[in-house]
Copies of this chain bind each other. A is one copy, B any other.
Amino acid sequence: MKLYSKYTRYLVAVDCIIFGYDILEKEIKLLLIKRSFDPGKGKWSLAGGFVDENESLDDAASRILRKLTGLESVYMKQSYAYGETNRDPGDRVISVSYFALIAIRDINRELTQQNEAHWRSIARLPDLIFDHSAMVKKALTDLQGQVKIRPVGFELLPEKLTLVQLQALYEAIYQREIDKRNFRKKILSMGILEKLDEKEKETSKKGAYYYKFDKDKYDKLKQSGFYFNLDVN
């Protein structure tokens, strides 16, 4: 079945920009790896790997994420294909980047330790190998675009969340402040949050009510023409 024999073949990799949110420090973090092999041994890099024969690009991205975090069925999205001839000095490698959104507390810490993976704030990232810094920059722009038009920010938070936490998350993603009353008005007016009879009491005396993202309601609204939009000031 090899019909295109005269053409050159290349290594194809997938690199994962794994976003987490640190609810205490109010910072978006990336899961980065101290590289254990050359080229770039000892340097910081994204989690990546070569595509196997029996898997699609999406499958490869899921496998890489699972191996590092233990997580299955996480929100993932392809970001961009990088194909400069010299982007990896080891060989010609075409790399497709994916970004993933995960709740930091869900990950398997044994696995991350084993792989020398560490959470680093996007506000002060180390230099990354190859074109990985460009991949991160692009993925962050993608993320900003996504959280505006889809309720994917919830992927980065625990199931029970306060509006204070949700706003802080958006502020961390956009890296600017948001007006509290306007933010609440907008998100609540969508009718996709369920208010719980329980308060988060760690961070204040008064306590903040927990809410839960109501996926069923969101799906129904979407079907009837509703578009999530959090255009935030």
Contact = CB atoms under 8 A, between A and B. Distances in A.
Interface stretch (A77-85, A171-179, A189-197, A203-211): A77-85
B9 A10 contact: yes
Majority SS at the chain A contact face:
loop
Interface stretch (A17-25, A46-54, A120-128): A46-54
Interface stretch (A68-76, A90-98, A153-161, A180-188): A90-98
A53 B93 contact: no
A3 B91 CA distance: 7
Interface in A1-15: 1-4, 7-12
A106 interface: no
Contacts of A110: none
Interface stretch (A26-34, A55-63, A220-228): A55-63
Ordered nearest first, which 3 A-B pairs have the shortest CB separation?
A57-B83, A9-B9, A3-B90
Contacts of A2: 90-91
Contacts of A11: 4, 7, 9-10
B78 A80 contact: yes
A38 B94 CA distance: 26
B57 A81 contact: yes
8 contacts: A2-B91, A3-B38, A7-B50, A9-B10, A9-B12, A10-B51, A12-B83, A55-B85
Given A9-B11, A10-B10, A80-B78, A91 B1 contact: yes
A42 interface: no
Nearest to A39: B3
Contact of A94 (B4, B57, B89): B57
A56 B78 contact: no
A89 B4 CA distance: 11
